[in-house]
Structure 1
Amino acid sequence: MIFLNLTYACPDASEQLLFANYLYNQGDYFRAITEYKRFIFISKDLDKKWFARKRILVSYKKAGRYDDALYYLLSFNDSKFSNIEKGKIYLLMGNTKKARSFFLRSNSDTSKILKSWSFTKEAKWENSINALAGMKKEALLSKTADSLRQFLLNADKKIEKKDILTAAFLSVIVPGTGRFYSGRVGDGFYSFLTVAVPGVISYYYWKKERKTAFRVSLGFSIAFYIGDIYGSIISAKLFNYNSKRLYIEGIDNTLHIQDRFIKQ
């Protein structure tokens, strides 16, 4: 009787794997991890156990549990696999420099694309292109590499930029126009008012010979004027940063680097 109960209590390994896959496909990564671990415990199929272990790792990544993913990688004996996966996790964490240090330990085509992508995330187009060097045309990933290289070669032409000095110069001439130039119309209008209104008030007090009020209002106008010039520089930098970010997102939306190479 005890033997029968124990047999009944142990689920069939294939059914356990099916259930884990179902949870994974439903996006229920936390429960999927638990079920994959149960499968690994009861299964004797080494290939399927390896598949389950990789699914656990991917589930940690998809769930955003990057520290857990790094810790789980310690159980893998394959250093080449671990280095690539560590690099992927650090890319997801936004640490491109540390990610690249792991990709440099491999010379595979996948590592070259990932290394290139780490430079791309930093908008270092030339470095990203150089990282793709050495990939053979007949390689499985050559089309992806060629497409990525084309995006990188066209980056400077395609990305709209605002000149920082031009933004500052415009605001020196007319307050707020530097922000208009950088596409921040509301900020530009507000900046113009913050400089113009105290300026008009200071002129009024000067005409009335109210020296103290004149100095105070003029001081406000000058402070806002200098602040607007600085703000115009920041606006131009933000415009350029967002232009690069959107271009990089466009590359990923076309080539699906994140989904195909990093999250998997």
Structure 2
Amino acid sequence: MININSIYNEDFKRGYEALNNLKVEDSVVANLKYFELSGLALLNRDIAAFDKYDQNITQEYYYFSNERASLQNVAEELRNKKLKSPWVAGIATAIIPGAGKFYAGKRGQGIYSFVISMFLALQVWESYRIDGIESPRFIIYGSLFSLFHAGNIWSSALTVKNYNKEYNEAVNYRIKMDLHIPIRSFFN
């Protein structure tokens, strides 16, 4: 139980220690131990450790075969998944307003940012062309455009950061459920 509580409290180090110090002689419990260690490795995003622990599971057991297959799928997904970069989103938005939101998968926000930025940029251009660089109108619209564009760059980076966080939380939830079910099945 210490392991499961540690996992849900995000104290993976304590979970590792508890499982590694667990002396087992029964092959079923030993395989369950390696299954739990493989899940902890995935929670730490250590795919090599996952593979090592998963290979130590010597037999297929009905009460955690589905969960083991699920963890193997998660490991494969993590191997192939490249998280998005907040830097790329920020730079893309700096070049083309709203492009970072598109990159983050927020197309509506990207279009909105692009339209507002273009509206403000056109106002800046028109005020410069008609009134000159020292006109209050140019200064006001130039300031608004600059503030909006800088905020848009920052917002794009944060959007990607939140996207990555939500993805990791969803994956962790799947892993935790896969680790929890065999424990309940085995000890009930």
Normalising by structure 1, report the TM-score. 0.53
Q: Once the 2 structures are TM-superposed, how far is the Cα of residue 243 of structure 1 from its aligned partner?
A: 3.4
| Cα distance change of structure 1 residues 87 and 142 upon mapping to structure 2, 3 Å threshold | closer
Asked if the contact 1:123/1:244 (under 8 Å) is kept, the reply is: no
- Structure 2: gaps (5+ residues): 24-29
| Cα distance change of structure 1 residues 177 and 110 upon mapping to structure 2, 3 Å threshold | same
Alpha-carbon distance in 2 for matches of 1:91, 1:102: 11
Other-structure match for 1:235: 159
Q: Could you give the per-residue CA deviations for residues 109-154 of structure 1, whole angstroms, max 9, x where no partner exists? A: 3332222222323433333333334332367778468525632541
| Cα distance change of structure 1 residues 119 and 220 upon mapping to structure 2, 3 Å threshold | farther
* 1:208 correspondence with 2:119: no
Aligned residue pairs, count = 178
* 1:125 correspondence with 2:47: yes
Other-structure match for 1:42: none
Q: Could you give the per-residue CA deviations for residues 28-87 of structure 1, whole angstroms, max 9, x where no partner exists? A: xxxxxxxxxxxxxxxxxxxxxxxxxxxxxxxxxxxxxxxxxxxxxxxxxxxxxxxxx122
Alpha-carbon distance in 1 for matches of 2:42, 2:146: 41
What amino acid does structure 1 have at the position aligned with 2:151? G
Asked if the contact 2:47/2:79 (under 8 Å) is kept, the reply is: no
Asked if the contact 2:42/2:175 (under 8 Å) is kept, the reply is: no
Asked if the contact 2:67/2:179 (under 8 Å) is kept, the reply is: no
Alpha-carbon distance in 2 for matches of 1:157, 1:134: 20
Q: Which has the larger radius of gyration?
A: 1
Alpha-carbon distance in 2 for matches of 1:97, 1:212: 60
| Cα distance change of structure 1 residues 104 and 157 upon mapping to structure 2, 3 Å threshold | closer
Query: Which stretch has the larger CA shift, 198-207 or 242-251?
Result: 242-251
Alpha-carbon distance in 1 for matches of 2:124, 2:184: 59
Which secondary structure state, in structure 1, belongs to the residue aligned with residue 57 of structure 2? Answer: coil
Question: RMSD of the TM alignment (CA)?
Answer: 3.4
* 1:258 correspondence with 2:174: no
Other-structure match for 1:180: 102
What amino acid does structure 2 have at the position aligned with 1:240? N
* 1:31-180 → structure 2 map (5 Å cutoff): 85-106=1-22, 108-137=30-59, 143=65, 147=69, 150-156=72-78, 159=81, 161-180=83-102
Alpha-carbon distance in 1 for matches of 2:11, 2:117: 41
Match of 2:111 among 180, 186, 189: 189
- Structure 1: gaps (5+ residues): 1-84
Alpha-carbon distance in 1 for matches of 2:82, 2:173: 15
Which secondary structure state, in structure 2, belongs to the residue aligned with residue 231 of structure 1? Answer: helix
Q: Once the 2 structures are TM-superposed, how far is the Cα of residue 175 of structure 1 from its aligned partner?
A: 0.5
* 1:224 correspondence with 2:148: yes
Alpha-carbon distance in 2 for matches of 1:262, 1:175: 51
Other-structure match for 1:63: none
Q: Once the 2 structures are TM-superposed, how far is the Cα of residue 177 of structure 1 from its aligned partner?
A: 1.7
Which secondary structure state, in structure 2, belongs to the residue aligned with residue 98 of structure 1? Answer: helix
Q: Once the 2 structures are TM-superposed, how far is the Cα of residue 217 of structure 1 from its aligned partner?
A: 2.4
Asked if the contact 1:132/1:145 (under 8 Å) is kept, the reply is: no
Which secondary structure state, in structure 2, belongs to the residue aligned with residue 154 of structure 1? Answer: helix
Q: Give identity over the alignment, percent.
A: 15
